Amino acid sequence: MSSTRTKILFTGLDLLLYASIAVVLILSLLGKLPFEFGHFNCNDTSIRLEKRPSSVGLMPLLIFYFLLPFIVIFISESYYCFLNQQGSTKSKLLTSLKKVHHLYLRYFLWATLNILLNDITKIIVAVPRPHFIETCIPDWQNINCSHNSGFIGFQRSLCLSNNTAAVYDSMKSWPSGHAQLAAFAAMFLMVYLEFQMKEENSLMLKRWLQSVLIIFPIYSSASRIHDYKHHVSDVVWGVIFGCAMAVIFLWKTQLYQCSHYSEENQVETRGIRPSNEKQKKPSRMQLIQSEFGAIEEMESEIVHHQQHGSPKSHNNHVFSHLQQ
């Protein structure tokens, strides 16, 4: 099997595997998968809060999570590629696009894996949100709160609400998805800028950008508590999981080796490979040795011809060669 066919085959396999994950994830986020895990307590006042609209909606989160890293990677790789690489504009553009594709594709896959991990954890742990009672509208006539210290196993049939997707979502409080996703993207971008940007021209630009990147995760995480979408522990663990996933991703991709500012990369971009060996000066010994070798060879020929008898023309030829 040729390398082209092999590449096409494994590309198709990757797309199929990603589609299988994406379909299950989308169905779960839409509340189409009837998972009934976890429990709630009749006497728990922390799940009796009102349901408020989200201060940070899904669209701003997705822009920060998927679009902003692409923009940052594209601008950074294009800038340094046009700055350091020699060649035509077309070749520079193609090189920068290859780098963007290589890095962002891996970021996109890990970002999807981060969402999948968050949703699976939410389903299995199944902690009720602060607005669970208002969203579920429990059927108290069929619920025995005096049994088992008031702990009731969650079932869709115990909720009078007609919004099935919202009912399932009300049991997905731990960990916070907004906090985990925002922390993952912010951690990646901060480390990426740390290795990509120099401080020779400006000491504040890189630190200013990194400080700005922290604002959205902090605001998004705090808003989830203020809007009664999550408990404090949900947000804290969401940030921890998001940062941990970003660190693992950065370690696996070895981003620190992609820095444009190491001496080896700067030399390679100019088409010169670094060498640790010192260039040796040409020695005259080689010429001297070659001359001695020629003299020894001619002397051996003279002796040979003298022993076996040789024509004078050959001796004259050798003698004239020695004079030269």
Residues of the chain with pLDDT under 50: 256, 258-296, 303, 310-324
Which pLDDT belongs to residue 319?
Answer: 41
- Characterize 270-305 residue by residue with b for buried, 16 or more Cβ atoms within 10 angstroms of its Cβ, and e for exposed: eeeeeeeeeeeeeeeeeeeeeeeeeeeeeeebeeee
Residues 143/42, Cβ–Cβ less than 8 Å: yes
Q: Which residues contact 193 (CB under 8 A, 6 or more apart)?
A: 72, 76, 206, 209, 210
Residues 122-165 have pLDDT tens digits of 999 999 999 999 999 999 999 999 989 999 999 999 999 999 99
3 state SS of 309:
coil
> Vertex 98, ends 92 and 103: CA angle to 5°?
130
The whole-angstrom separation of Cα 91 and Cα 109 is 27
Which pLDDT belongs to residue 299?
Answer: 52
Which pLDDT belongs to residue 260?
Answer: 45
The whole-angstrom separation of Cα 83 and Cα 266 is 11
- What's the pTM? 0.77
Which pLDDT belongs to residue 138?
Answer: 96
Which pLDDT belongs to residue 271?
Answer: 41
Which pLDDT belongs to residue 288?
Answer: 39
The residues spanned by each domain of the chain are 12-269
Which pLDDT belongs to residue 277?
Answer: 44
Which pLDDT belongs to residue 65?
Answer: 97
Which pLDDT belongs to residue 279?
Answer: 47
3 state SS of 39:
strand
